[in-house]
Chains A and B, each alone.
Chain A
């Protein structure tokens, strides 16, 4: 009820807003009787209706019509009403005959049909037609309501006349009483004159007729009071009848029964003889909502709104038909929705074919489902549903919908990435915030579930990886650690000590791999001896590495003699045969003169040989040789 009242105010507001902007009205010549096409009203209507397109907002239960917002009521009930309309079978009654009767009623009461001769006859004929129109189901007995209102107004008219008669009779009585009073007063004055002498001096006392005169005056005063009371009653009856009639008129308008509003308005004019066209009902509330107002809504403004609405509904339904013919079902649906809420009781809306309504109903359900998916942010399903809707309505604007869906998906995924990064960095608070953001944007993001699984499995991994890492460290299996470095990095992210160990292992194996790569490159460049040098050098510390062992075995056949010499030299050196080892190194250097390994070994062993020779010859501890640079061996 509250919403209905508000929508009434909305309608009234339309009127006020439109006419308040209109130029000042010209003086109406000859009163308002029969002046249905006020130039003021037309001017205001032009401004009022020349605005943006219409639209329905089912979320808020509002509708934009002619630039003003109308409250249609609770959004849920609005939806239900529209859905009921789409699902309901089309009325089968004789709508044309019904409309013809309504038109006939309006015609009988119109200025072009009314004359002095047929003034009452037309009223009666129109009144009778109201009962015929009320027999139709679409009328919802609105015409009976009008008839009741008219009959009441007529009864008030009779009552009005009776009071007028009483007033006339009282006036006659009052005049009679007045003449009696004057007569009695004259006689008293004459008697008083006879009792005076020639000089005007009273010679005897007398009071004959004074008392009677007092009563007559009192009677006259009573009659005047009765007349005043009857006059007041007369005014009250007139005002009450008008207000009741206007209330009904506005009620029809706000119920969007425009034809009934027009008929009520027409009856009002003839019943009250066009004595006062000012609309009183709702004026106060309108002023409260729109404090514009030195403007007073008139019957013409209501008439014009009703006619314009009827015209808009007709055009709206034509547009719906055209769009359906062009297979633009989405546009047709939107126009039908707007048109329905503007004029759901208009014949063209009520008679819309059922098969087309069913088609719209299917689209409506799919759109609602799509909206539900959007509300629930089930973005993955939205795309499929958009395609389904597009299959029904080729004009459905799928691109912006899909664009928004993709944007939302991307935003969710970005937040998820951020959450992962924060989780890896050990920033739990940031990870939670980012994850919450990602979930809010796209609750069913599969990445969120995956991330949750990862978090859970990470806990399991932590439990497994830590002891595994410790074992591999104890067994010096650097390569195995290196191969699982990412897993260990994740598992040990918050264990600083182990992370440091892991970093060192990764660095160590990284350097090893770099040397292996270097050796492989040298071998590939036909320089196997230098490659072997690299291998030999790193083999000293990484003899357990399988990759190194494989590379070593790959290169060894290319440098068999060289390798044998080095191997023999190392063996001799270990046995203490330094001179023999030096001889072997010299032989190896002969094969690979550029070898830094050979150069270093020769230099080292030469000193050792010199020292041991001195010790042997003298039996004393030798002084270390001068740290002179041993020249490089001559190249071959």
Chain B
């Protein structure tokens, strides 16, 4: 017969579950996730003056709208997920990526602005 108080289980298990859930949801709610340390990518700034962004890495959450070119790397037209609709932007997926992309898929990624090109260095679906 276990010496542990059943009440302990009755209260402990839900608490653990809640903690686990919080641990999963909170980061998501906060928008950071895996790339939380990165600055969100500003589409408006990019369109206005991409030169100010070049060389930097940013975090971008987006949805795949269209695959424009597929060959040695892909060029995708993605729609950034934000409160205000900002329209589509092109991102480049290097050839080494083994990920598949379907229209409508959402993912977070780390973008590097190589000159004016938005190169996806890492991504995470969500």
Contact = CB atoms under 8 A, between A and B. Distances in A.
Given A577-B50, A577-B115, A633-B77, A606 B69 contact: yes
Judged by DSSP, the binding face of B is: strand
Contact of B73 (A578, A579, A610, A631): A610
Contact of B68 (A587, A622, A630): A630
Contacts of A579: 50, 90, 92, 115-118
Interface in B68-101: 68-75, 77, 87-90, 92, 94-95
A354 interface: no
B114 interface: yes
Classify chain A: how many residues form its interface, as a range: 20 to 34
Contact of A610 (B46, B69, B77, B103): B69
A375 to B, nearest CB: 90
Given A578-B116, A587-B47, A616-B117, A609 B77 contact: no
Interface in A578-607: 578-580, 582-584, 586-587, 589-590, 602-603, 606-607
B22 to A, nearest CB: 37
A579 to B, nearest CB: 4
B69 A607 contact: yes
Contacts of A606: 68-69, 75, 90
Contacts of B67: 631
Contacts of A631: 66-67
Nearest to B113: A579
A613 interface: yes
B116 A577 contact: yes
Given A579-B118, A613-B92, A633-B66, A625 B71 contact: yes
Contacts of A607: 69
A617 B94 contact: yes
A130 to B, nearest CB: 136
Contact of B117 (A572, A584, A612, A628): A612
Interface string A347-365: 0000000000000000000
A112 interface: no
A204 interface: no
Interface string A127-155: 00000000000000000000000000000
A626 interface: yes
Interface string B23-64: 000000000000000000000001100100000000000000
Contacts of B46: 580, 583
B87 A590 contact: yes
B117 A586 contact: no
Judged by DSSP, the binding face of A is: helix
A614 B66 CA distance: 20
B118 A586 contact: no
B71 A634 contact: no
B72 A614 contact: yes
Nearest to B114: A616
B65 A633 contact: yes
The residue in A572, A586, A587, A614 that gathers the most chain B C-beta atoms within 10 A of its C-beta is A586
A586 B77 contact: yes
B89 A586 contact: yes
B71 A626 contact: yes
Nearest to A603: B68
A207 interface: no
Contacts of B68: 582, 602-603, 606, 630
Nearest to B66: A633
B123 interface: no
Interface residues of B, number: 29
Nearest to B68: A606
The residue in A579, A602, A603 that gathers the most chain B C-beta atoms within 10 A of its C-beta is A579
Contacts of A583: 46-47, 88-90
A613 B73 contact: yes
A384 to B, nearest CB: 82
B114 A630 contact: no
Nearest to A632: B66
B109 interface: no
A629 to B, nearest CB: 11
The residue in B46, B70, B75, B103 that gathers the most chain A C-beta atoms within 10 A of its C-beta is B75
Contacts of B65: 633-634
B69 to A, nearest CB: 4
Given A612-B117, A616-B117, A580 B50 contact: yes
Contact of A580 (B74, B92, B95, B116): B116
Nearest to A585: B90
Contacts of A610: 69, 71-75, 92
The residue in A583, A590, A625, A630 that gathers the most chain B C-beta atoms within 10 A of its C-beta is A583
Contact of B75 (A589, A609, A617, A623): A609
B70 A628 contact: yes
Given A626-B71, A630-B68, A634-B65, A609 B92 contact: yes
Contacts of B50: 577, 579-580
Interface in A255-308: none
Contacts of A622: 72
A579 B76 CA distance: 11
Nearest to A591: B87
Contacts of A617: 73, 94, 119
Contacts of A613: 73, 75, 92, 94, 114, 117, 119
B87 A587 contact: yes
Contacts of B119: 613, 617
A623 B72 contact: yes
Contacts of A626: 70-71
Nearest to A586: B88
Nearest to B50: A580
A626 B71 CA distance: 7
Interface in A537-586: 572, 577-580, 582-584, 586
A347 to B, nearest CB: 120
B112 to A, nearest CB: 11
Nearest to B96: A617
Contacts of A582: 68, 75, 90
The residue in A590, A609, A622, A631 that gathers the most chain B C-beta atoms within 10 A of its C-beta is A609
B66 A609 contact: no
3 A-B pairs closest in CB distance: A606-B68, A625-B71, A580-B116
Given A587-B87, A609-B75, A612-B117, 10 more contacts: A579-B117, A579-B118, A586-B77, A589-B88, A590-B87, A602-B77, A610-B71, A633-B66, A633-B88, A634-B66
